[in-house]
Amino acid sequence: MVKGLYTAWTAMINEQHRMDVATNNLANANTNGYKKEGSTQQTFDSQLALKIKDTSEPGSYPRRLGRIVPGVKTGEDYTDWSEGPMKSTGNTWDLAISGKGFFAIDYTSAHNNIAGHTQGQQTVMYTRDGSFTLTADGALVTHDGDFVLDTEGQHIEVDPTKKHAVNVKGQVLEFTGDGANETSEVVATIGLFDFEDYDALYKYGENLYEPTDVAVRIDNATGSINAGFLEQSNVSVVDEMVSIINIQRHYEAASTMIQTANETLKTATTDLGRL
């Protein structure tokens, strides 16, 4: 009965974590370029099997598994990197990445002690959110005012009085003249970068990713840029709501199990104790 209490307790802890992940996905269902998260679970049997197959220690040595709780263990969180749907906006500076790649942002931290950053610290971050705008001075920035970087890691600045367009290669075209005399030239190229292992990217927050020390950057990403579009979140609201309903049912079942075991223990310690 006591083991049953612990088993149900581990189930409730696990379902609470799954609920946190699902609700965070729902909260970001309308966040441009957001990639939904998921979580894995490990049963006691699977942990035991992995330990038995572990050959890192001599076979004659006893292998401790740790405290044995025959329940479920919360595994690792993971990110679904599948591409979200494209939404047409018609805005020249709304950019969506089709395929692999990230925009590079010269990010200035607005807070202290967030992932080891201090207020005012500048760091190159990466994002799939291409909702950009042009300042009065002609600088291409995010909605938070951080500079978008080109292929050389420099700020992108154009003439704000002229007409511009962005092609699939990320080249910013600046037009001069009018009608039949209109000409264009490439004044900048928006940087598009990728990484060998997405597990090496840390979710910093504010829809940004920060590469860890082991991240290997690829400067020539294979994706293309679609101007006048925004990549939407890849979260399915219906799927997340169904998941939340299932999580609630599992949580309630584990809670009922604890109540039942508690009543049984109460009977054993009171009624049977009188005999």
DSSP secondary structure letters along 196-258? S-GGGEEEEETTEEEE-TT--EESS-S-EEEETEEEPP---HHHHHHHHHHHHHHHHHHHHHH
User: What confidence score (pLDDT) does residue 60 get?
Assistant: 46
CA dist 272 to 1, 125, 188, 261, 263, Å? 15, 65, 83, 15, 13
26 and 148 inside one domain: no
pLDDT value for 62 = 44
Provide the pLDDT for residue 264.
Answer: 83
Q: Are residues 110 and 192 in the same domain?
A: yes
Q: What is the pLDDT of residue 44?
A: 60
| One domain for residues 187 and 202 | yes
Query: In terms of domains, do 193 and 146 share one?
Result: yes
Residues 196 and 264 in one domain: no
Report, as ranges of residue numbers, the positions in the chain whose pLDDT lies below 50: 60-64
Residue type, 273: G
**Phi, psi dihedral angles at 22 (to 5 degrees):** -65, -40
Q: Tell me the C-alpha distance between 25 and 77, whole Å.
A: 13
Same domain, 156 and 254: no
Q: What are the E-state strand segments in 55-94?
A: 72-79, 86-88
What is the pLDDT, as a whole number, of residue 27?
Answer: 96
Looking at residue 87, what is its pLDDT? 96
Residue carrying structure tokens 């004659």? 60
Q: What predicted TM-score, i.e. pTM, was given to this entire model?
A: 0.82
The Cα 83–Cα 229 span in angstroms is 13
Assess whether 121 and 204 both reside in one domain.
Answer: yes
What is the number of domains present in the chain? Answer: 2
Q: Which two tokens stand for residue 177?
A: 């003249």
State the residue range of the domain holding 58.
Answer: 1-80+236-273
Indicate the SS3 state at residue 262.
helix
Q: Are residues 194 and 164 in the same domain?
A: yes
pLDDT of residue 37: 95
Do 191 and 268 lie in one domain? The reply is no
**150 and 65 in one domain?**
no
d(CA 178, CA 109): 42
143 and 16, same structural domain?
no
Looking at residue 180, its pLDDT comes to 81
Same domain, yes or no, for 40 and 71? yes
